[in-house]
Amino acid sequence: MTERSDPNSAELRHTLTALETELVLHAPQIAQALLPGLTSDGFQAAVIDFPYQIPAAARQLYQWHDGTQLLNGRDRAALFPGGKMLPLREAVRQWAGAIEGDRRAGRSVWQRDWLPMFTDDWGGWHVIKCAGGSHPILAFNLVELPRIDSTYPDLRRMFESVIRRWRSGAFRQGELGTVEADARAVAAVYRAEDGELPDLTRILKDLNEGPEQTYIDALGLLRTRLYPEAFPGLMGLLETGSVRGRRAASELLGAIGPREAATALRRAADADPDDVVRLLAKKSLSELDTGS
């Protein structure tokens, strides 16, 4: 089947058009920073040193726009927080740098079929997996662990999610083409996308006493979703949980935001035996005071 007759191609084209409309409305500086799309010859020239076939969706993306400009000569415009869209030549250059970095370090952290498409410039990328029958979007962070998260099954669904955040006001344009996020509004979009509420009793137990990876997964879920329903359980953890559980609770209660948490957070900030808990509780109190 050719790309032109592929219904997935038409769906992605519609999604990219909708994304550009949202950027024009809500982030005009970012919309103006989108670079022209690549011609077929330009595309082939950009990937000549990349040994994998570029997925059709990624090819279509770069024909739409070949990344974003550097604003004021130093900051590339982003489409979402941490999502500065790399021109294809720069994406291939960063791929080569990652492969060489692994070789010199004698490790294999970066998978060879990953093409970095978006970066935060601080050791974080969103990559597309090029080999195999599916081409998910993965979030890779070289600083944290390193950590790999399966973020979206494909580019279209990633951009549909980005559109919802721009449209709802969860994202807003910052300075120099950055994207600022309202954490609570973003969390509400995540919850709407997820649909069903997960087993919070299990998640809170994992937060308090689960193995390391299970704890990391539970904390990541609660940081991104900020379930209001988790509030009573987090209050319990803050009072009687393990050190790890109290640290997580003292952080999350400020982000979730009910004012009823203030008394318990103030008590933790003043008297918890763990230094980290006290620091996180103080930060959460300031979040409650400012409503951020």
Model pLDDT for residues 95-151, shown as the tens digit of each residue? 999 999 988 988 888 999 999 999 999 999 999 999 999 999 999 888 765 566 668
User: Which class is 195-290 in CATH?
Assistant: mainly alpha
Tell me the C-alpha distance between 225 and 186, whole Å: 8
Residues 6+ apart with CB under 8 A from 102: 108, 109, 110
User: pLDDT of 201-244, one tens digit each?
Assistant: 999 999 999 999 899 889 989 999 999 999 999 999 999 999 99
Tell me the C-alpha distance between 189 and 73, whole Å: 33
User: pLDDT of 23-75, one tens digit each?
Assistant: 999 999 999 999 999 999 999 999 999 999 999 999 999 999 999 999 977 88
Q: Are 64 and 31 in contact (CB under 8 A)?
A: no
Q: Which two tokens stand for residue 208?
A: 């308090």
The secondary structure of residue 228, as a DSSP letter, is G
The more confident residue out of 129 and 292 is 129
Beta-sheet pairing, 70-71 with 65-68: unpaired
56: three-class secondary structure by DSSP? helix
- State how far the alpha carbon of 97 is from the alpha carbons of 110, 222, 235, in Å: 10, 34, 46
- So where are the chain's domains? 7-181, 195-290
The more confident residue out of 291 and 78 is 78
User: 73's torsion region: left (phi>0), alpha (psi -120 to 50) or beta?
Assistant: left
pLDDT for res 182: 95
User: pLDDT of 163-184, one tens digit each?
Assistant: 999 999 999 999 888 999 999 9
Q: Which two tokens stand for residue 189?
A: 């979009």
pLDDT for res 3: 40
Model confidence at 4, pLDDT cuts 50, 70, 90, reads very low
pLDDT for res 1: 33
Q: Over the Cα atoms of the chain, what is R_g?
A: 21
* DSSP state string for 61-87: HHHHEEEEPEETTTEE-BSSTT-EEPP
Q: CA angle 169-157-53, nearest 5°?
A: 135
pLDDT for res 149: 67
Q: Are 212 and 250 in contact (CB under 8 A)?
A: no
pLDDT for res 207: 96
Average confidence score pLDDT of the chain: 92
Tell me the C-alpha distance between 140 and 117, whole Å: 11
Tell me the C-alpha distance between 208 and 78, whole Å: 36
Q: Does 93 have pLDDT greater than 80?
A: yes
- State how far the alpha carbon of 78 is from the alpha carbons of 30, 129, 171, 214, 265, in Å: 7, 21, 11, 31, 35
Tell me the C-alpha distance between 68 and 86, whole Å: 7
Residue 44 CB: number of other CB atoms within 10 A? 11
Q: Does 91 have pLDDT greater than 80?
A: yes
What b-and-e string marks burial along 243-260, b requiring 16 or more CB atoms within 10 Å of the CB? ebbbbbbbbbbbbbbeee
Q: Which amino acid would we find at residue 153?
A: P
Q: Which amino acid would we find at residue 125?
A: W
Q: Which CATH superfamily hosts domain 7-181?
A: SMI1/KNR4-like (3.40.1580.10)
